[in-house]
Every structure is written in structure tokens, then in C-alpha cells.
Chain A
Amino acid sequence: SQQGEEDPQALSIQEGENATMNCSYKTSINNLQWYRQNSGRGLVHLILIRSNEREKHSGRLRVTLDTSKKSSSLLITASRAADTASYFCATDAGANNLFFGTGTRLTVIP
């Protein structure tokens, strides 16, 4: 399967702490994307990192990509209760579709 696999499956932290989620994949990619899904809602695109990039920042989000290890990490700094959601990584291998993993369920405790 080309699907990304997120680790951990569930993560619970206190508000203000940092949250780190990891994603591993199996094939060569053009880019890797991270999405957030709040309960009962559609996916929200967070950040896209291309295969020739190693690190990218967006606000409190930091994404790294290691193509040699076929892995990526998403760091959310200074977490807030509103960050509680499921986070998915998606790999784009250039075949016009994205392959998603099963996601990491993040709970931020106020």
C-alpha cells in the first residue's frame, strides 16, 4: 500500500505543550501534505512540503521531511484546546490522487 502511516494513533497532551506526529510512507513522492479533520467535518489542508524541501513552517506548525527515510513529522507548538482533531498525512506520488493514512487523534486538555 502507498498509504502513509501516522504514529502515534492517539496523543493526549496538556494545553501549552508541543505535539509531534510522525508519518511514514513507502513510495517516492512529489510532495507530502498534512490535513486536520475536526470531528464531523471535512478535511482542512494545513501544509504541503515538496520532495526537495526538508523543513517548512506555518504559524505554530513545523513540518519536516526525510525522503531517505520516507518519513515526515508534524510539530504543533504551544498547543491549544482548539487544536484537538485528527491529523492525517497524505502523499502525492504524481498520479493525481492522494494516499492518506489512518490519522493521529490529538486531544489537547485545557
Chain B
Amino acid sequence: GAGVSQSPSNKVTEKGKDVELRCDPISGHTALYWYRQRLGQGLEFLIYFQGNSAPDKSGLPSDRFSAERTGESVSTLTIQRTQQEDSAVYLCASSYASDTQYFGPGTRLTVL
């Protein structure tokens, strides 16, 4: 595809449920990033993939958050036992090497 895509675009879930967010990076981009943006705030780094491995998981806020990447392509961010404070827009970005990052449209997660 021409750009980074994410699905779903919107997700409303009940507190305590698990959610999976998907990111399809730009073809050929080796690096993939997940960020979280709470309302009115800047982006918060979550995790970074180089290929299929994640050398930097330092931003994951708790053990309820996990992510994987397969085939050096699609990535899935999973949030278990969602809490209301998880409500945010989750943005995925990809880049070739560690240069300019290209962002997807984001997934807006609302935890009721």
C-alpha cells in the first residue's frame, strides 16, 4: 500500500476486555513503532521493532500491554484487561532504518 494503515479506526470496549490493534507498515520498512496519544497530549512512545524483534520495549506502560510483529510486516498491539486510562489514540509508524517515520491514521480506543 501507499502508506501505513491501521485497524480498526475506532474501538469501543468494556473495562476488563482484551483488545487487539493492527498495523500494516509501508512495504520494505524495517522499523515499526507504536505510540499512544492521550487527549491533548503529545505522543508517548510504547515499543519499537527492528525486523521482527523488539529491542526497545521500554515504553510499554504495564504487563497488560504486549506487541508482536511477524514477517517483518504486520504488527499487533494487544492490551489485556483494558482500563479506562487506556483510552487514547494508538498510532503506528514505520521507517526505513531509523530515519523519517511515517504514521498511520491511528486507532481511537475508548474503554467504558
Contact = CB atoms under 8 A, between A and B. Distances in A.
B42 A102 contact: yes
17 contacts: A4-B42, A33-B100, A42-B6, A43-B43, A43-B93, A43-B103, A48-B99, A48-B100, A88-B43, A96-B55, A97-B33, A97-B45, A97-B48, A97-B56, A98-B33, A98-B45, A102-B40
A42 B59 contact: no
Interface residues of B, number: 26
A44 B103 CA distance: 7
Interface of A: 3-4, 33, 35, 41-45, 48, 88, 90, 92, 94-103
Contact of A42 (B31, B48, B55, B106): B106
Most buried by A among B55, B103, B105: B103
Contact of B105 (A42, A92, A97, A102): A42
B42 A101 contact: yes
Contacts of B100: 33, 45, 48
A47 B110 CA distance: 32
Given A96-B98, A98-B43, A102-B41, A42 B91 contact: yes
A100 B41 CA distance: 9
Interface in B93-112: 93, 98-106
A99 B41 CA distance: 12
Given A97-B48, A98-B43, A100-B43, A45 B103 contact: yes
Nearest to A105: B40
Contacts of B4: 42
Most buried by B among A35, A92, A100: A100
A100 B6 CA distance: 20
A95 B33 CA distance: 12
A96 B106 contact: no
A48 B45 CA distance: 19
B42 A35 contact: no
Contacts of A101: 42
